[in-house]
Chain A
Amino acid sequence: QLQLQASGPRLAKTSETLSLTCTVSGGSVSSSSYYWGWIRQPPGKGLEWIGSFYFSGTTYYNPSLKSRVTISVDTSKNQFSLMLSSVTAADTAVYYCARLDDTNGWSSYFDYWGQGTLVTVSS
């Protein structure tokens, strides 16, 4: 059974960089036809896709966050990471890591999610 576990500091300071890591077990981040990504949800609000990477190594980012986001992967540890720079209170959210399954040749979907981790941005 595939599992994703996000970890990292629960508190980030205004103007600094938020960093989270997602550890994948029961599967490989190098598996073909899967994207691995980050989604966030501000308290009481909806879901926002942050970015993803493809097994080939290509990364994709939400245009609204692109200038501040970096997603990287460590295949040796079966992990992928998120860095979001110059954070403000508006970046306070639950951050989820998730797998986007693109294997059925039709609609891709997020089928496995981590438990979510609340990161609070404060000065």
Chain B
Amino acid sequence: DIQMTQSPSSLSASVGDRVTITCRASQTISSYLNWYQQKPGKAPKLLIYAASSLQSGVPSRFSGSGSGTDFTLTISSLQPEDFATYYCQQSYSTPHPTFGPGTKVVIK
């Protein structure tokens, strides 16, 4: 099984900050990496697929990069609605996807 890790597990930031979240795979997964945002009581929402492709309707302040085993999600200027938990998910082993443990972004 491909294991996913994320760092940090949580971070505190202020509105307007640039935020970077890291995801690492236990083996190379090329660019088969997606990012989701989840708010309390809601289903996850797809933000980025194939490591760097922005899902339709997602603000351009979100971006993704990386390939192989190391990936990042960047929020260029954090907005109040961005406080949430973010998950990475590998699709290299489709149809056996695995998710990272999540990174919670809280208000400083």
Minimum-distance CB pairs A-B, first 9: A113-B43, A107-B50, A47-B99, A109-B49, A60-B95, A109-B34, A108-B91, A108-B94, A107-B32
Contact with A along B16-42 (1 / 0, CB 8 A): 000000000000000111101000001
Q: Give the interface of A toward B (CB within 8 A).
A: 35, 37, 46-49, 52, 54, 60, 62-63, 96, 98, 100, 102, 104, 106-111, 113-116
Contacts of A98 in B (CB 8 A): 43
Number of chain B interface residues as a range: 20 to 34
B81, CB-defined interface residue at 8 Å = no
Cα–Cα distance between A115 and B99 once the two chains are bound (Å): 19
SS class, residues of chain B in contact with chain A? loop
Contacts of B66 in A (CB 8 A): none
Closest Cβ of chain B: how far from A77's Cβ, in Å? 22
Chain A residue at minimal CB-CB distance from B92? A107
Closest Cβ of chain B: how far from A74's Cβ, in Å? 20
The reply to whether B95 and A110 form a contact with Cβ atoms under 8 Å apart is no
The reply to whether A48 and B95 form a contact with Cβ atoms under 8 Å apart is no
Contact flag A104-B50 (CB < 8 Å), given A47-B87, A109-B34: yes
